[in-house]
């Protein structure tokens, strides 16, 4: 949508002026500021995103296939995924970087953590980390703890308190 590969903007704060130029960014800011309430400002921003989306390049169809396959509780290895999609591992990595900002292995880790968080949010009653880890596709509770620390920079207990 932005005309850039996702890897180019991953973990970055990009100023709207840098993407659209000073005049277009200023015009949008003025239109947003002209609304007296949050609802009007939100609609103005949503309209800008819709217009941007209408002009965007189509999403790489491989990205949809990769996301669907990596959303499985036990996703295939990168080698198996590349083979199933009909790409080399290098091509798969390059296309994942462009679409998601991450290679397929890191993306699989992020999606597994998101799955664990969704399971935790939907769970009723006390939550045992070992059960959560198994349900989300981790080898064990320690594997879950390591991934939470590596990706989120906190412990599973602290992260789940925020749920």
Q: For residue 33, what are the CA distances in angstroms to 16, 19, 140?
A: 15, 20, 50
**pLDDT at residue 163, rounded to an integer:** 58
The band of 30, judged by pLDDT with boundaries at 50, 70 and 90, is very high
User: Rounded CA gap, 105 and 112, in Å?
Assistant: 11
Quick check: 11 pLDDT over 90? no
Asked if the structure places residue 1 within a domain, the reply is no
Quick check: 73 pLDDT over 80? no
Quick check: 157 pLDDT over 70? yes
Task: Answer yes or no: do 153 and 132 share one domain.
Answer: yes
Q: What is the residue-averaged pLDDT of the chain?
A: 91
Task: Answer yes or no: do 98 and 143 share one domain.
Answer: yes
Task: Answer yes or no: do 44 and 72 share one domain.
Answer: no
**pLDDT at residue 130, rounded to an integer:** 93
Query: Collapsing DSSP states into helix, strand and coil, what is residue 110?
Result: helix
Q: pLDDT > 90: what percent of the chain? A: 64
Encoding tokens for residue 136? Answer: 């989300």
Task: Answer yes or no: do 66 and 48 share one domain.
Answer: no
Quick check: 78 pLDDT over 90? yes
Q: What is the mean pLDDT of residues 139-161?
A: 93
Query: For residue 141, what is the domain's CATH number?
Result: 1.10.10.60
Q: Using the structure block, give the residue that is written with the tokens 């749920």.
A: 163
Query: Collapsing DSSP states into helix, strand and coil, what is residue 154?
Result: coil
HSE-up (13 A, CA, CB side) for residue 109: 14
CA dihedral (121, 125, 126, 132) positive or negative: negative
**pLDDT at residue 41, rounded to an integer:** 95
The band of 9, judged by pLDDT with boundaries at 50, 70 and 90, is confident
**pLDDT at residue 98, rounded to an integer:** 93
Task: Answer yes or no: do 82 and 162 share one domain.
Answer: yes
Task: Answer yes or no: do 47 and 64 share one domain.
Answer: no
The domain tally of the chain equals 2
């Amino acid at each position: 949508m932005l005309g850039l590969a996702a890897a180019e903007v991953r973990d970055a704060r990009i100023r709207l002026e840098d993407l659209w130029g000073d005049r277009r960014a200023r015009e949008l800011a003025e239109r947003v500021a002209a609304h007296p309430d949050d609802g009007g400002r939100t609609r103005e921003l949503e309209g800008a995103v819709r217009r941007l989306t209408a002009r965007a390049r189509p999403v790489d169809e491989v990205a949809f296939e990769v996301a669907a396959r990596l959303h499985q509780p036990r996703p295939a290895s990168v080698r198996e995924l590349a083979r199933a999609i009909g790409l080399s591992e290098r091509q798969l990595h390059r296309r994942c970087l462009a679409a998601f900002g991450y290679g397929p292995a890191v993306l699989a880790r992020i999606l597994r953590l998101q799955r664990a968080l969704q399971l935790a949010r939907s769970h009723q009653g006390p939550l045992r980390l070992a059960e959560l880890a198994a349900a989300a596709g981790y080898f064990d509770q320690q594997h879950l703890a390591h991934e939470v620390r590596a990706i989120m920079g906190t412990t599973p207990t602290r992260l789940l308190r925020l749920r």
